Structure 1
Amino acid sequence: MPYYARRARPLAYRNPYLTLYYLFCLIEWIYLAVCVLVYGDPGPQAVLTYLDYITVLEGFAAIEIAYMSVQKYLNRNAYFDFARTLKVGVRNLIVWTIMQPFPGFIIGLGRPAFLGCVLAWSVAGTLRYLYFFLEVTWSGAPPVLSLIQFVIPRSPSLSVFAHRVVCGGIRGLVDSVG
């Protein structure tokens, strides 16, 4: 019997809005990842469309964090993840203080970095919301998703490597090796 089939009643019956929210975010992040992978470097108008999608998704993520903190306050046993709060806070800071006020930079010189951010955030968002969607609908996600969700992002060596790949530091790493 699979791990996710052992628990009793799913949370989807108690919180249908959470199920719809996680499904919506999952579909949107998959859509953004597919767009970046299929179209590569699109024109300026498509980049601004990606920025609009990300702004909406990060706004919803901020509401999700507010909801989690209210639940934590009202119900002492509620789950509140400080790491997720920090990730959402940093993403909102980047979106609202750099990307939204200066869209010309994203269209011009910063387009490859922006597309790298969109791809990295899309993969992370897809994994995160797939985990939460399965957690809510089937009362448990498969163990491999738990491993990806909680162990790998907290590994310092993998985080440094991912940062170097996304920020273009891999070139310096390869040059120093070879």
Structure 2
Amino acid sequence: MPPSKSSDKKQQQKPAPNLLQKTYLVTYNTTSLLLWTTCTLRTLLLLLNNTPIPQIFTDVYPLLKITQSLALLEIIHSLVGLVRAPVMTTGMQVASRILLVWGIMFPFQGVIVGETADNGVQVGDWGFLGCMLAWGVTEIIRYGFFALQVSGMGVPAAWTWLRYNTFYVLYPLGISSECVMVFKALGPAGDVSPLFKWFLVLVLGVYVPGSYILYTHMIAQRRKALKKK
């Protein structure tokens, strides 16, 4: 006997978060918004003041690693059903960032932002700056969107447009920048351990299908969100 329409609706409906959950989610998203805004503005201000890239990294990285590490909570949010985000896509997004911040930037700072080519250009700079720009703008928009949405204040139409359209440019920028940093870390990773180097090679191999999965997931989410409107 097929289920009735009323039972289908009950299964699809997700109970609204209680006051404690709502308060926690608003606090988490607002805190993340403020942290990413600080990281991004700090990077831009230092860049505008012609601060050397290694010095920008030194100034921004301590707060960046705390800010990005906080996103590990999002995997727990997904696992316990606090948010509707799929566990797999959430885990992939957070894991790639954690690898970059703790597995690449932390041990190999000199390679990421300190290598100088024959023409005097630090060839690793644009990868780090590309990540900071793509991550920062994306997360400011995303956490601001969620903070407004969960609080019940309502999300302005312009903010919604940014949420579901800027990733078309920012996601490829972020992925390509991440790949540059992983590639540049292969040499020093091999000095640490051949297994570490081959792990990073595997990571680069996974980036292509993984990026496709995440990119198409975001496109699907965009269609679903705009269809509702």
* Equivalent residue number for residue 76 of structure 2: 66
* Equivalent residue number for residue 58 of structure 2: 48
Give the CA RMSD over aligned residues.
3.2
Residue 163 to residue 60, structure 1, CA distance change in 2 (3 Å)? closer
* Equivalent residue number for residue 80 of structure 1: 85
Deviates more, 1:95-104 or 1:83-92: 83-92
| 3-state SS, counterpart of residue 71 of structure 1 | coil
* Equivalent residue number for residue 26 of structure 2: 19
Higher RCO structure (Cα 8 Å, ≥6 apart)? 1
* Equivalent residue number for residue 97 of structure 1: 103
Matches within 5 A, 1:110-125: 110-125=124-139
Deviates more, 1:124-133 or 1:97-106: 97-106
What is the distance in 2 between the residues matched to 1:139 and 1:66? Answer: 25
Q: Percent identity?
A: 27
* Equivalent residue number for residue 31 of structure 1: 38
Task: Give 2:40's aligned amino acid.
Answer: A
Report the CA distance between 1:139 and its aligned residue.
5.7
Residue 143 to residue 88, structure 1, CA distance change in 2 (3 Å)? farther
Residue 106 to residue 12, structure 1, CA distance change in 2 (3 Å)? farther
After the TM superposition, which segments of 4 or more aligned residues of structure 1 sit over 4 Å from their partners? 158-161, 163-167
What is the distance in 2 between the residues matched to 1:132 and 1:118? Answer: 21
Task: Give 1:61's aligned amino acid.
Answer: A
What is the distance in 2 between the residues matched to 1:14 and 1:51? Answer: 32
What is the distance in 1 between the residues matched to 2:56 and 2:171? Answer: 30
What is the distance in 2 between the residues matched to 1:60 and 1:32? Answer: 14
Measured against aligned partners, the alpha-carbon deviations of 1:102-132 in whole angstroms (never above 9, x if no partner) come to 1222341323321221121110110110011
* Equivalent residue number for residue 137 of structure 1: 151
- Name which one, 1 or 2, has greater alpha-carbon Rg: 2
Structure 2 residue ranges without an equivalent (≥5): 1-15, 116-123, 179-229
Task: Give 2:84's aligned amino acid.
Answer: Y
The number of aligned residues is: 151
Task: Give 1:97's aligned amino acid.
Answer: G
What is the distance in 2 between the residues matched to 1:83 and 1:48? Answer: 31
Structure 1 residue ranges without an equivalent (≥5): 1-9, 73-77, 168-178
Q: TM-score, normalised by structure 1?
A: 0.68
Residue 13 to residue 36, structure 1, CA distance change in 2 (3 Å)? same
What is the distance in 2 between the residues matched to 1:30 and 1:12? Answer: 28
Q: TM-score, normalised by structure 2?
A: 0.55
